[in-house]
Amino acid sequence: MKFLLLIYGNQEKWDSFPAESWPEAIAKQEAFNAKYRETGELLGSYGLADAANARLVRRKDGAPAVTDGPYLETKEYMASFWLLDCESERRAHEIAADMPWADTAPTEVWPILHDSAADL
């Protein structure tokens, strides 16, 4: 079964994190990623740029119409996501609870209902 793990953040949260703490934080996250890549359960992990770098794309007259975005109604935005392939929802919860920040920030776990792999 495949699952998407999501964490959220905001600029205030990132700015409050001491700059000297980032290398250790990144090392912890990379150790988590390596652990689950080795088990074959982590298919990919992706950190997103700040929301200020996101764009909204629509189609207008058959061509892309790109505007600044997203226009969020909340201060938080998706910061990172992980794609898992594991035996059960329970296992996905165990992996999410092993996230380095699980004691201070929640991780959303979303079952993936439809899989249309790009590499087929």
Q: Domain segments of the chain: what residues?
A: 2-111
CATH superfamily of the domain spanning 2-111: Dimeric alpha+beta barrel (3.30.70.1060)
Quote the strand ranges of the chain, DSSP E: 2-9, 42-47, 55-60, 63-68, 77-85, 108-111
Residue indicated by tokens 């079964």? 1
pLDDT, position 120: 57
What is the model's pTM?
0.82
Dist CA 78 CA 70 (whole Å): 11
pLDDT, position 72: 57
| Rg from Cα positions in the chain | 17
Contacts of 59 (CB under 8 A, 6+ apart): 65
pLDDT, position 36: 98
Residue in 64, 45, 43, 42 with CA at minimum distance from that of residue 55: 64
Mean pLDDT, to the nearest integer, of 25-29? 93
Percent of the chain whose predicted confidence (pLDDT) is above 70: 92
Which pLDDT tens digit goes with each residue over 66-108? 988 766 555 678 889 999 999 999 999 999 999 998 998 899 9
At 14, is the secondary structure helix, strand, or coil? Answer: helix
